[in-house]
Structure 1
Amino acid sequence: MMEAMREQEDVIRPGRLLVATPVLEDPNFRRSVVLVVDHDPEEATLGVVLNRPTEVAVGQILPGWAELADRPDVVFQGGPVGLDSALALARLPGTGEPLGWRALEGVPALARVGLVDLDGPPEALAEEFAGFRVFAGYAGWGADQLRSELAEGTWYVLAAEPEDVFTADPERLWQAVLRRQGGDLAFVATYPEDPSLN
C-alpha cells in the first residue's frame, strides 16, 4: 500500500488530474476532476475543479474576457478556497509564449495549456488562444493532507488531455475521464450517483 501511495505521489505534478473516487462524499469534491496547476511535495498542491460550471457568465465578472471564453461561457467553481478570486487557463495553438501566459510544466500533452494573467489586456491575447476558461476559487491541499487522502483511496491520479480543461460537456467529464482509462476504472465510470438505488 505504501508503495502504491509513493507511486501516486511521484506522478502528482502540474498538468495531472486528481479524479475523485466513488468513496469521496465531500460535496466540494464529489465526482470532481481537478487539474493540478502547482505542486510542491513538501508544501502544497493547488488545482482547479474542471467540472463545476456556475450560472455566472464570464462577462458578468470579466467583461473584457467574455468573447474569449469557451462554451459553456460561464465561470467555473475552481474549488472551495478563495472564491472571491479568479484564475484562467488558456490553450495556445502555436509555439510562442505571449506576455501574460505561463505554461503548465511537466506534462507534454498539456504543453500548450497555461495560466493567464487576468490583469493584462485581453485584446493583446485574443488572437493567441485556442481555448479559454475562467475559474473562481481553487482547490488546495497541504503536503500531508493530500498524502493522507491518497492513502485513503480518495483520488485517482490520471493523465490529463487538453479536451478535459476545455470540455463543452463538463457534467459528464468524470465519467469520460474514467471511461477512457479502460479496465477497472472504465467500470467505475458506471458507478451510480446514488448507490442505494442499485
Structure 2
Amino acid sequence: MSAQIKNGTILLAEPFMLDPNFKRSTVLVVEHNPEGSLGFIMNRRVNMRVDALAKEFPEFDAPVYFGGPVGTDTVHYLHRKGDLLEGSDEVMEGIFWGGNYEKLRFLIDQKLITPYDIRFFVGYSGWSDSQLQEELEGGSWVTARMDPNYLFKSDPEKLWSQVMENKGDTFSVIASMREEPSYN
C-alpha cells in the first residue's frame, strides 16, 4: 500500500523502530518533491532555550527541539505568523516554515511573536528522492493528518500516542503500547 505524502503530512514511527533518532517520533513533513523530503521531529525537546542557542537573539523563553539527525548545525523554525514574517513558506493552513531572520528577532523583541506561536528545531529529518516511499512501504512509518494544535498546543512527550489515538481503530491500541515489547 503506497501512502500519499505531501507537505503537512505527519510521519509516525512504527512502535518498535530501533533507530534512536526516530524511536516513537512524530515528524511533520514540510517539503516533499521529486528530489526528496524534509521534515522536523515535533516531539524531541532538548534542554536548551533558543536565546541561548542563537547569537544576538532577544531573551525568549522558547524551547528547542531536535528536528532530526541531518544538519545539526542549523536552526529552523515553524510558526503561525506567516502574515507578519516575510519569506515564510506555508507548509499547510496555519503552519509556516522559516522567514526573514532579522524580522523574526524584531517581532519577538516587540512581543508580536510569543513562545506559543513558534517552535525552533536544531537539525532536520531528510530523505532522498525515493527513500521515504521505500521506508513507508517497508512499514517504518504510519502517516497521519496534521493539525496545527499538535505543534503549538500538544504536550510533546505525549504527541506520538495522541496522534496514533486520533487515527482510531487499530492505531488506538498501538497508541497504548509501552515502548518495551516485553511489557505488551
Aligned-pair distance for 1:90? 0.6
Question: 1:156 aligns to what?
Answer: 142
1:46 to 1:66, Cα distance in 2 relative to 1, 3 A: farther
Match of 1:127 in 2: 112
- 2:16 and 2:24 map into 1 onto residues whose CA distance is 9
Q: CA deviation at 1:196?
A: 1.1
Q: What CA deviation, in whole Å up to 9, does each residue of 1:129-182 have, x standing for no partner?
A: 661110000000112211211111111111011111124511110000011111
- Greater helix content: 1
CA distance in 2, matches of 1:77, 1:101: 21
- The TM-score normalised by the length of structure 1 is 0.82
Equivalent residue of 2:127, what SS? strand
User: In the alignment, what sits opposite 1:59?
Assistant: 51
Question: Which stretches in structure 2 are left out of the alignment for 5+ residues?
Answer: none
Q: For the residues of structure 2 that align with 1:187 and 1:16, how far apart are their CA atoms?
A: 22
Rounded Cα–Cα distance in structure 2 between residues aligned with 1:175 and 1:66: 33
- Aligned-pair RMSD on alpha carbons? 2.0
Q: Distance in 2 between matches of 1:160 and 1:117?
A: 21
- The answer to whether the 8 Å contact 1:178/1:186 transfers is yes
Contact 2:85 2:99 in 1 (8 A): no
- Closer, same or farther: CA 97–103 of 1 in aligned 2, 3 Å: farther
TM value normalised by structure 2 = 0.88
Q: Which residue of 1 aligns with 2:38?
A: 46
Contact 1:167–1:173 under 8 Å retained in 2 = no
Matched residues in 2 for 1:115 and 1:90: separation?
6
- Name the residue aligned to 1:81: 70
Count how many residue pairs are aligned between Structure 1 and Structure 2: 179
What does residue range 1-198 of structure 1 map to in structure 2 within 5 Å?
4-5=1-2, 8=3, 10=4, 12-40=5-33, 42-62=34-54, 64=57, 66-67=59-60, 73-92=62-81, 96=83, 98-104=85-91, 110-117=92-99, 119-121=101-103, 122-124=105-107, 126-127=111-112, 131-198=117-184
| Distance of 1:136 and 1:128 partners within structure 2 | 19
Distance change (3 Å), C-alpha of 1:65 and 1:185: farther
Asked if 2 retains the 8 angstrom alpha-carbon contact of 1:100 and 1:120, the reply is no
